[in-house]
Structure 1
Amino acid sequence: MSRPIRATINTTALSHNLRTITALAPAAKVWSVVKANAYGHGLARCYQALASTDGYALLNYEEAILLREAGVAQPILLLEGFFKPNDLALIEAYQLTVAVHSDWQLRALADYPAKKPIAVYLKINNGMNRLGFSPDKVRTVWQTLKTLPAVGDITLMSHFARADEGPAFIREPLQRLEQATATLQAPRCYANSAASLWYPETHHQWIRPGVVLYGASPTGCAIDIEPFDLRPVMTLSSEIIAIQQVAAGEGIGYGHRYTTTTAQRIGIIACGYADGYPRHAPSGTPVWVAGKRCKTVGTVSMDMLMVDLTDCPDATIGSVVELWGAQLPVDTIAQAAGTVGYELLTSVTQRVPFTVIS
């Protein structure tokens, strides 16, 4: 029998989340963001559960080609655009939509002898300061794109750096976008996960939900998305493989960073940082064992972590443990570990077996 750790992907939950988000923006089309191997869930496992989406958004050509060769006919958006001028031949061949964010890409498009025009998303830098043209240059870039034979439909695209922090951080950047694009007749695609949930004024013609599709919160706080009935798509689970009766004053784990103050019953779980569990998760991080919330103790090892079972007498060897999932939102574990749910979901390693349920 293989080691008991497992990641379970619930495709029914994924389809439910897409329907829920789509209903929030009834006048907009939806890009389902499936970058990073569908946020660690496995693109090949997930794309069919998102079949009602209007398009898929990702980064890697390999993932785009996987979708096309699997028969996906919807638009596919390359969020970081193309990386070399000769990438345009592949983009044209697979009929991909491409973000354009830099002057060198404009020059590459000007030089490319396209047989069929390429759909373009003109990326506007609206305070994120990663990719995109500054708002004062948008009209000029737009006019340039309109003259290029290689360019087909043009959509305006931007991003909100602080949409998860409240409405005050939406108003000013949205106003700046509206001023910069007021004279341009084009579809807009501005709303990320947070904006898709909370700010309908940003929805325009397209929204781009990402982590919310997978049932995690863009704020990093699980309670913030409870009103939307978004369901966790991934459950990371394992089992108790050993139990130690430890006297008071004993150290547990590497470095003895946890010392018992009373006699404790310690369960050993087959999960560690080589599986993707955060090594920096401190003692006290919640774990769901045998229907009860327990706490980790000591340093997370490569292959194991320890949990206090003193108040969980029903737990025994073989008891099922949920590391995150329906009982423990991934954001709750991430908060305890000082990170975000995005990181945990995308960090589950190749040695963890995946199971798909519907």
Structure 2
Amino acid sequence: MIPRVTATIDLAALQHNLGVVRRLAPRSRVMAAVKANGYGHGAIPAARALEAAGVDALAVACLEEAVELRRAHIHCPIALLEGVISEEEAAQAVYQRLQVVVHDHWQIELLQRLGRDAQVGIWFKIDSGMHRLGFPLTDVPRLLDVLRAQPGWTLHGWITHLASADEPDNGFTREQVARFDAALSGVSGPRSIGNSAGIIGWPEARADWVRPGLMIYGASPMPGQTGADLGLKPAMRLESRLIAVRDFEAGETIGYAQSWTCPERTRIGVAAVGYADGIHRTFRSGTAAMVGGRRVAYAGRVSMDMITLDLRQAPDAQVGDPVLLWGEELPAEEIAAQAGTIPYELFCGLTQRVHFRYR
């Protein structure tokens, strides 16, 4: 069987990118995010590659993601970024030796039901301005009281999340860091602030721990920059192949709703990939792809299983030729911008129909 759509994942690129993080934040320990199936790259292969490269910890969103990694014999520390949502999950987190990010008092109550001597590793999440999850800044003294009352609990640190770190001219990031530092003045325990954008753009966010996500996979969260601009290596290469090539006269229309018209005699290629694979309908006419090393453009709407391409820049293209959707020569950041979205959504949006291979 020949796969119609293949995502090739370069695991050495993840290890290289971890090295870039360490160079940017040499005094920080690194908790790499492998949530959302490793940002669409495959959580288990990504975790294995990062563990082999000496990552200090991994981060997932929920218990199910952590259990998947433990069952795959991933042994390094794993943090649950959303914490636990039931007493059963709390007990399972302890059994699986997970670090629980606690962001609300009802989660404290769940963990307290395990008993005063239960061995629970926790992070306290503080809301410094993101206003999504986290305790108010003024709750820090109360949280210290909770710790004193739970002798079995181990505090791994204090964590916050940045709202606008990908906006270099927005001073709110600096304000968030200052609020976080002020709330924890005189309080012991490691701090974790910087996500990928914080690591890249804000030295003050490179605290005791950093939490890279997108940059581990070789893409940049910063507007106008690609991962390559930052010394990162893209880990994913997404390809399909041409299954039809035909010539049409000027004025002929292509695809659903006749949304693209041939401006002259035009060679049109059909690639076997569509929104059922994760190429959303927001990929408009003009979005770039590559055939035979040459840039071509989408022509007409994305279908469930196919896209149509204007091959005037690749006139020698033939059935069977590979079509690059994104990869090293065609950065995901560029394609995401053309599609009105972000690289995170491209990576995480790939479906089970895509064939993954790892090298």
In the alignment, what sits opposite 1:226?
A: 228
Which digits, 9 at most, give the CA deviation of each residue in 1:258-297, with x for residues without a partner? 1122111111111100000121111000001101111111
Q: Deviations over 1:225-279 (max 9, x none)?
A: 4332111111110111111211111111100111122111111111100000121
The one-letter amino acid of 1:101's match is H
For 2:200, the equivalent position in structure 1 comes to 197
Deviation string for 1:176-202 (max 9, x for gaps)? 111111121110011101111222221
Give the alignment of 1:1-358 within 5 angstroms: 1-51=1-51, 52-113=54-115, 115-166=117-168, 168-219=171-222, 221=224, 223-357=225-359
Greater alpha carbon shift after TM alignment, 148-157 vs 88-97: 148-157
Distance 2:96 2:112 in 1: 20
Contact 1:106 1:145 in 2 (8 A): no
The 1-side partners of 2:61 and 2:219 are apart by 20
State the one-letter code of the partner of 2:207: H
Q: Distance in 2 between matches of 1:75 and 1:315?
A: 49
Could you say what the CA RMSD is over the residues aligned between the two structures, in angstroms? 1.5
Contact 1:3–1:270 at 8 Å: present in 2 too? no
One-letter amino acid matched to 1:12:
A
1:114 Cα deviation after fit: 5.8
Secondary structure class of the residue paired with 2:188: coil
SS of the residue 1:87 aligns to: helix
Task: Check the 8 A contact 2:117/2:151 in 1, yes or no.
Answer: no
Name which of structure 1's ranges 326-335 and 144-153 shifts more when overlaid on structure 2: 144-153
Looking at structure 2, the residues matched to 194 and 232 of structure 1 have their Cα atoms a distance apart, in angstroms, of 16
TM-score by length of 2: 0.95
Shift of 1:210: 0.2
* Cα-to-partner distance string for 1:275-333 (whole Å, 9 max, x where unaligned): 00121111000001101111111000000001111121231111111001111111111
Q: Secondary structure at the match of 1:274?
A: coil
Q: Which amino acid aligns with 2:68?
A: L
Query: Aligned partners of 1:305, 1:70: CA distance in 2, in Å?
Result: 37
Q: Secondary structure at the match of 1:164?
A: coil
Q: Secondary structure at the match of 1:238?
A: strand
Q: Which amino acid aligns with 2:164?
A: R
How many residue pairs get aligned? The number is 356
Identity %: 40
- Structure 1 pair 3–72 and aligned structure 2 pair: CA distance change class (3 A): closer
Tell whether the 8 Å contact from 1:109 to 1:150 is kept in structure 2 after alignment: no
Q: CA deviation at 1:127?
A: 1.4
Offset at residue 148 of structure 1 (A): 1.8
Offset at 1:143?
2.5
Shift of 1:120: 0.8
In structure 2, stretches of 5+ residues that fail to align are none
Shift of 1:115: 4.8
Aligned partners of 1:49 and 1:204: how far apart in 2? 24
Residue identity in the other structure for 2:198: A
Q: Residues 114 and 8 (structure 1 numbering): CA distance in 2 closer, same or farther, change over 3 Å?
A: farther
Is contact 1:57-1:76 (8 Å) kept?
yes
| Partner SS for 2:237 | strand
Instruction: Supply the AA of the counterpart residue of 2:158.
Output: L
- What stretches of structure 1 of length at least 5 have no aligned partner? none
Cα 1:356/1:225, change in 2 over 3 Å? closer
Deviates more, 1:130-139 or 1:145-154: 145-154
Q: CA deviation at 1:36?
A: 0.2
Question: How far did 1:72 drift?
Answer: 2.5
CA displacement at 1:220 relative to structure 2: 5.2
Q: Distance in 1 between matches of 2:186 and 2:260?
A: 62
Q: Secondary structure at the match of 2:106?
A: helix
- SS state of the match for residue 237, structure 1? strand
Give the superposition deviation at 1:154. 4.1
How many angstroms does 1:150 deviate by?
4.0
Taking the aligned partners of 2:310 and 2:148, their CA distance within structure 1 comes to 64
Q: Deviations over 1:164-222 (max 9, x none)?
A: 0015232111111111111211100111011112222211210000011001111354x
